[in-house]
Amino acid sequence: MKKILGLLVVFVLFASGCAEIETKQQAYPKMYSETEKPVSILVVPAINKSTAADAADLINSTLTIPFADNGYYVLPISIVSDIFKRDGIIEGSQITGLPASVFKDNFGVDSVLYITINNWDTNYVVIAANVTVGMSYVLVSATTNEVLWSYDQQIVVDTAGDSTGFILADIVKTAIATALTDYIPIARQVNAAAVSTLPYGKYHPLVGTDGEMKVVLKASKEKALNQTE
């Protein structure tokens, strides 16, 4: 897992080119504060801006492990989701504007994670095709309602494959390969890439030592805040 995350960090840096890159400490100073640094995370229902109606439900199965591996206690997402559904809340836009302190009072957590699914889509252009998964993450203090961490991440997977030399055959082959593409592994890659910018939590053995890691694309940090508005 550490090797995979390391490769993802390298990829982010390579892809950024001349883009402005910040250290974790520069980008998220509150995450290194004794008074603001969270220990527990509540994941609220995602806002789904994609064309896939089931994307929000599918994404739930991919979220616990990356944040837990990064040193945070994540409230069981399936249980939390059921609680929200019993109250008639099935989509994140239904709780937009609520102060995060509401969730602290009801769940006892010190931070709330808001997720916006921007892309969960298939794109076709003649014999070319790809699958795109993109999400924005915003972690907010349940005490002060201030943003502690934010990031926008997207991965595009080419599903066209090698050409057979026959256009009709290539179209059929691409259509089948794209239709059979499993979004879940791609979503896990998106999560891993985004979480690689999140400062280590209390339960990570290297907590407090990653402040100088220069892995945060400033544009991606700011884009996440715009996507959730």
According to the model, what pLDDT value does residue 3 have?
A: 41
CATH (domain of 171) = 3.40.50.10610
Backbone angles phi and psi of 137, in degrees to 5? -125, 135
Gyration radius of the chain's alpha carbons: 19
* Domain count along the chain: 1
pLDDT at 192 over 50: yes
Could you give the angle at which helices 2-16 and 183-195 cross, rounded to 10 degrees? 80
pLDDT digit string, tens, across residues 39-59: 999 999 999 998 888 888 889
pLDDT at 7 over 60: no
pLDDT at 189 over 60: yes
Which of 3, 50, 30 is CA-nearest to residue 139? 30
- Full residue range of the structural domain in which residue 137 is found: 2-227
pLDDT at 164 over 60: no
Band of residue 97 on the pLDDT scale cut at 50, 70, 90: confident
Band of residue 121 on the pLDDT scale cut at 50, 70, 90: confident
